[in-house]
Amino acid sequence: MVAASPLTRSRALKEERVEQRVVAIGDSLVYGYGDPEGGGWVERLRRRWLQPETPGHAIYNLGVRGDTVQRVSLRLVQEFQTRGEFRNRVPDRLFLSVGMNDAARVGKPTGRHLTDFDTFQEEMLELLDAASALCPVAFIGMTPVLEERMPFAEVLHYRHLDQYRYKEATRQLCRQKNIPYLDIFDLWLSRGDAWWRSRISTDGLHPNVLGYRSLLEEVTCWQTFQDWL
């Protein structure tokens, strides 16, 4: 009887392994700001996976409020490589969710973008390439804002027109790179004003408790999530 090669044994062990180590990295939508009850969709998912009847998946929340694409890029590799839990292991999957802050205008509704659109596309492309080199990646799109509540923090103006432009650029880049993209912006708006507006916090920018509950269901019902986990 011929013994299995080390490579064959390694592949077999990988196929047998059910538990997945997942990283979610991005801005306040990952961090969960606005959800004092459940801590956001990532934290809600982490708690769900802690239940004894569920697989032993683990998810790490690497969200930072106010982050832009450039800031996420600067910390991506180091933070990813330290979340494998065990020696010589790195996470299996990666969720990205960033770009809303880049689209904001500074000072007034017609002010400059926090990140120039052309620069944003270049930086997003670099981020997607860097993330894809680490493991399989999926992108969670931004939620819509309440424009009448702007400016946020008395200085940042978020508008649907700008959100749409930046999220479409992101979606197209993800398509080019074969990265699944969950278009939350269009999905929520398609459900009507009363539906999506009831899911945004009084600050006009972040989802509220109901919003994060809905966001978790969007993510976990997504076919990409089902195929992964």
Q: Are 93 and 132 in contact (CB under 8 A)?
A: no
Tens of pLDDT, residues 153-185: 999 999 999 999 999 999 999 999 999 999 999
Task: Quote the CA–CA distance of 165 and 215 in Å, as a whole number.
Answer: 21
Q: Are 61 and 42 in contact (CB under 8 A)?
A: yes
User: Mean pLDDT throughout 136-149?
Assistant: 98
Write the single-letter amino acid at 138.
A
Residue 8 has pLDDT above 80, yes or no: no
Q: What is the pLDDT of residue 45?
A: 97
**Token output for 29:** 């939508």
Task: Quote the CA–CA distance of 199 and 206 in Å, as a whole number.
Answer: 9
Question: What secondary structure letter does DSSP report for 229?
Answer: -
Q: What is the pLDDT of residue 86?
A: 67
Q: What is the pLDDT of residue 204?
A: 98
Q: What is the pLDDT of residue 84?
A: 77
Residue 16 has pLDDT above 60, yes or no: no
Give the strand pairing for 105-106 and 156-157: antiparallel
User: Mean pLDDT throughout 10-27?
Assistant: 72
Residue for token digits 């620069």? Answer: 119
Query: Percent of the chain, pLDDT > 90?
Result: 85
User: Mean pLDDT throughout 122-135?
Assistant: 98
Position 9 confidence tier, pLDDT thresholds 50, 70, 90: very low
CB within 8 Å of 109: residues ≥ 6 apart? 150, 157, 159
Position 10 confidence tier, pLDDT thresholds 50, 70, 90: very low
Position 17 confidence tier, pLDDT thresholds 50, 70, 90: low
Q: What is the pLDDT of residue 55?
A: 72
